[in-house]
Structure 1
Amino acid sequence: MKAKFLSLLLLVCGLLSNANIQAQPLELIDIKINQLTLSVELADSPKERAKGLMGRKTAKPGMLFVYNSPQETAFWMANTLIPLDLAYIDEKGVIVSIIQMQAMDESTHPSPGEVIGALEMELGWYAKHQVKVGDKIEFVLADQ
């Protein structure tokens, strides 16, 4: 399962890195958490990850940050106008931490170790949908 998740992640990263998406809104990708299927924006380049949801007035539809390999990282809310929930995701697709971040807060929120990604949603989203640490995030392939 770990190999399958990493293979899908690398495939998505490779396909999108070749596309000219910088001048357009971020690509949407379908993911599944528990019984929920949703489309979120994919931030998989350093530039997209650095900008994230800065300057936006809404977190919808959510943003999935993906890294090429597992790494320690940290998020902050500089220039982010809205409060957010952030879930760190390990290389197996498992949520290893969920934190709440306040708008315009410049303190850092480090990952609890190496992660392959993070999912930002509007504040309270994880509690509202009963998503918790230990739940799994999976990519939904177009032919499923």
Structure 2
Amino acid sequence: MYLSTAASRTAASRSWRSHVRTAVLASVLPFTLATASAQDGPQLNLPRVELNAGMHRIDAQVAQAPQERQTGLMHRQNMPLHEGMLFVFEQPATQCFWMKNTLLPLSTAFVADDGTIVNLADMQPQTLDSHCSTKPVRYVLEMNQGWFAHKDIKAGFKLSGAPFKR
């Protein structure tokens, strides 16, 4: 659209900015509200899946929906030794995690579709340090810090369970 006068260009510019501002707010507001509600308290009632790391059984909560993944293990005061949380993403990508509002020290396994651990990371409570997968993955398993090391589980180890069967 071509505008011939400065006044009409200014009015059109204001109108355009108003539409852009409205569109930005409309797209950001749901995320902001989801962020606020996602951090209200710990998630204790997510579905569970049994995983195995060799002879070791893992009872993992499954965080699959975006809000469940966003909240993760935030606000948890404790977690039994054989429990963890499995984050499931729609497709493989570089996954990065931090520990905002997370009270427990955790070890994280970035896991390929076939259950192979790509890399591990130890994460300190309530920090904003980013810990990322070294390759694209769909699964991330968080356990109490040291769980993998105590069981001598390293990158290349293969986990088993329903999510990894194809």
**Which TM-score band applies after superposition, normalised by the shorter structure?**
0.7 to 0.9
- What's the secondary structure of 1:79's corresponding residue? coil
Deviation >6 Å, runs of 4+: none
TM-score (norm 2): 0.67
What is residue 59 of structure 1 aligned with on the other side? 79
Q: Which residue of 1 aligns with 2:150?
A: 128
CA distance in 2, matches of 1:53, 1:89: 18
**Contact 2:117 2:154 survives alignment (8 Å):** yes
Question: Structure 1 unaligned runs (5+)?
Answer: 1-22
Return the match for 1:26 from 40, 46, 58.
Answer: 46
Structure with the larger RCO, 1 or 2 (CA within 8 Å, 6+ apart): 1
Structure with the bigger percentage of strand? 1
The Cα RMSD (Å) is: 1.7
Aligned counterpart, 2:13: none
Shift in CA distance, 35/111, structure 1 to aligned 2, threshold 3 Å = same
Q: How many aligned residue pairs are there? A: 119
Q: 8 Å contact 1:77–1:106 — kept in the other structure? A: yes
Which is richer in helix?
2
Taking only the aligned residue pairs, the percentage that are identical comes to 34
Unaligned runs of 5+ in 2: 1-42
Equivalent position amino acid for 2:129 in 1? S
Shift of residue 111 of structure 1?
Answer: 1.2
